[in-house]
Amino acid sequence: MRVTVDTGGTFTDILFENKRGIISVFKVPTTPENPSVGILNGLLQAAESINVSIEYFLSNLTTFTHATTHAINAILTKKTAKTAFLCTEGHRDILLFREGGRIEIFNFTVEYPDPYIPRSLTFEIPERINYDGSISKNLDDKGLLKIINNLKKLKIESIAVCLLWSTVNPIHENNVAKILEEKLPNIPYSLSHIVNPTLREYRRASSTCIDASLKPIMSKYLSNLKNNLEDKGFKGQFFMVTSQGGVRNIELSASSPIHLINSGPSMAPVGGNFYLEKCKNNQQAIVTDLGGTTFDISLIKDRKIPRTKETWIGQKYRGHMTGFPSVDVRSIGAGGGSIASVDEGGLLHVGPNSSGANPGPASYNKGGSEPTVTDAALVCGILNPNNFLGGDLTLNSTLAIKSIKKIASKLKLSIEEAALSILDVVTENMAQEIKSLTIHQGLNPSKSVLISGGGASGINIVNLAKKLGCEIIIIPDLGPVLSAAGAMVADITNEFSLTFTTNTKNFDYRGANLALKELALKCKKFLKGPGKKSLSHTIEYIIEAKYSGQVWEIEVPIFLDKNLKIKNVNILEKEFHNTHKKMFEVDDIESDIEIMQWHARISCKMSNTKLTVNKEKNKVNKKDSEFRNVYFKKLRSLKTKVLNYENLKIGKTLVGPALIEAPFTTILIDPKVKFKLNNFNSLEINLKYNKKETQIDEGSSLLW
């Protein structure tokens, strides 16, 4: 038996797979003050569903996989540990200088961002390693001890160490670690050559500082959760979801918590790709995950999930770079709990502020009074107040109307018109963000499948598809918990990196093959440890390289012989040229290629799950005879048939208008739109347009 848990800002999603591979879904409110409480509430529901105690339930679990927003929330709310930054003498301003760039080139009104760790907590260590690994200046132990005494007085809670060229020769960082362990035995620390062995100084420093600042809070969180589970009988493997779209065991996760920053959002494209593979004629998709707090967008290109090295916390250039490649997920503040407001100029805005899990939308009747997307959907007749979260929560229509009145009076609209305007604005926000992401990456949204996930996604998914020109919408049966479903199919992953520079003109075969051998040994060790119970595994070898004279490297997969060696550099050159051409539509076969970094990515398959949902759990014994008045744009109030998801017959095409109710989502189908349940128990919605409707305004300044 296996369980995956995705703790979001509003709800905690839990998937339970029994011994027969059948999955049951549970959704409970998140408890922000202590997420473990919400998790245990959901696990208790899962245990009760099979009539066993929670102790028996947990003792029979083989794996527990967890995705959490705890790390990113700690950074955004500035609740990380008080962290000191130790750097090479003369390099105190690495975090301040960062990397250049502006979002708006001529906008000088935005204040320059503060460094992640303030200059007052940055200390210079007398030492220096040269680019070739030789020692220019020995580590000054006495100088380091003075700094340590200062750290004691400042009551530092964690330490980040990033010394120059430690990726080539880590001797000084290792010596600093030994002294820290001796003089500050209870203070966690992070070493840059272990956290992120890259040549880029700012990225390495930034990632190390972020990692160190998270260690105390994430170690405590994971330790408490693990102890709570073990106290109730859990003896299986504990995995955490990472930003790279895989999972790691709890020990690795606690030792390198920076990989948990985008834990959760990275799983939606993994789950989306699982369902895209069932669509034989489609190679690319837009994956959306609309929850209570945020709207997450990711892409699938050629059935692969794009990764990005430009991973920022906050705005690009104005936030902080993690320094790690991760699944390319964009988030905006547009969820079911997003608050609507009217500014002084009379313009309607929706988000980014959210009502969250507590107090939640006004209709939750938990003290919230601000109008939200959920309240608007209830007023429009889309949501059934008595069948929200499978009937676990009753929505208060009176309070929803009262909240929307605030918007209606300011805009001089009727209650229904104001509610519909809220849904229109939030849909437009989503569409613009998707267009920006897809067009910038050379992907035409009108040629992509729209895979819809998240509990609130059904409210406006058809309208969103129309704005994008998408002809096919796929809403999986596990769509409302798409991230948790992704975690159920995710592999155990890890990545090993090392620095070795050479070029194709004078290629160092011996050095390159030694680097590959070292990476292979690390993968082998990983297979004997965290990956020992995997069903199968794959290892991908990658270089970071650039044309001579270029500033930035690109990642290029390399193919080795059976002995994991490079015997002909021409093959490597050809692969680089092809990759460069594919990315930038240009190559330069006359130029030398400089290779900077070497990587090995290992993926270990955990399960052959087919994500088969327990239909009996969600079966509703009622006929599809119910109707509800739904407010549509231009059509006004329209009598709309209400269908139960579980009563849909596979392959039978139906035509809207319709409302499809499932335990954790409601899907609105516009008039004349065709839909059916496909062979994989996913709802497939088909839209057709004329050419004019599918044109995208690529000249819009919002897109560029």
- Rounded to an integer, the average pLDDT of 572-592 is 92
Compute CA distances 391 → 28, 73, 473, whole Å.
12, 30, 26
Q: Provide the pLDDT for residue 80.
A: 94
- pLDDT, residue 697, reads 46
Distance separating alpha carbons of residues 229 and 238, to the nearest angstrom: 10
Among 460, 407, 409, which residue's Cα sits nearest to residue 434?
A: 460
Kindly state the tokens that stand for 497: 């990196």
Instruction: Name the token pair of 519.
Output: 């990476």
The CB density around residue 50, as the number of other CB atoms within 10 Å, is 14
Can you give the pLDDT at residue 336?
Answer: 86
Task: Please state which of the four CATH numbers 3.40.50, 1.10.3470, 3.30.1490, 1.20.120 is assigned to the domain occupying 491-605.
Answer: 3.30.1490
pLDDT grade for 646, boundaries at 50, 70 and 90? confident
Checking if the pLDDT of 239 tops 50, the result is: yes
pLDDT digits (tens, 9 = 90+) for 494-524: 999 999 999 999 999 999 999 999 999 999 9
Give the residue-averaged pLDDT of 562-589.
Answer: 91
Considering the entire predicted model, what is its pTM?
0.87
pLDDT at 690: 65
Radius of gyration of the chain (CA): 26
Residue 130: the pLDDT is: 94
| pLDDT tens column, 423-434 | 999 999 999 999
| Over residues 600-621, mean pLDDT | 80
The per-residue pLDDT of the chain, averaged, comes to 90
536-546 tens-digit pLDDT: 999 999 999 99
Residues 376 and 373: their CA atoms lie apart, in Å, by 5
pLDDT digits (tens, 9 = 90+) for 88-113: 999 999 999 988 778 888 888 888 88
Residue scoring higher pLDDT (11 or 471): 471
2-75+219-260: CATH topology: Nucleotidyltransferase; domain 5 (3.30.420)
pLDDT of residue 213: 97
Taking only the tens place, the pLDDT of each residue in 164-194 is 999 999 999 999 999 999 999 999 999 999 9
Range 266-291 average pLDDT: 90
Q: Determine if the peptide bond prior to 29 is cis (ω within 30°).
A: no
385 with 363: CB under 8 angstroms? yes
Q: Which two tokens stand for residue 371?
A: 């109008």
Share of the chain above pLDDT 70, in %: 96
CA-CA distance, 57 to 111, in Å (whole number)? 53
Give residue 636's pLDDT: 82
Q: pLDDT by residue (tens digit) across 151-164?
A: 999 999 999 999 99
pLDDT-derived band of residue 405, with 50, 70 and 90 as boundaries? very high
- Percentage of the chain lying above the pLDDT 90 cut: 66
Give the pair of three-digit tokens for residue 354: 């959210």
Average pLDDT of the residues in 219-235: 93
- Please tell me the predicted confidence (pLDDT) of residue 88: 97
For the chain, give every domain's residue range.
2-75+219-260, 81-213, 267-334+449-488, 351-425, 491-605, 613-686
Adjacent-strand bridge partners of 308: 326
Mean pLDDT of 445-451: 91
The predicted pLDDT at position 31 comes to 85
Question: Hey, what CATH topology would domain 81-213 get?
Answer: Rossmann fold (3.40.50)
Q: What is the pLDDT of residues 24-59, one digit of tens each?
A: 999 888 888 888 899 999 999 999 999 999 999 999
pLDDT band at 219 (very low <50, low <70, confident <90, very high): very high
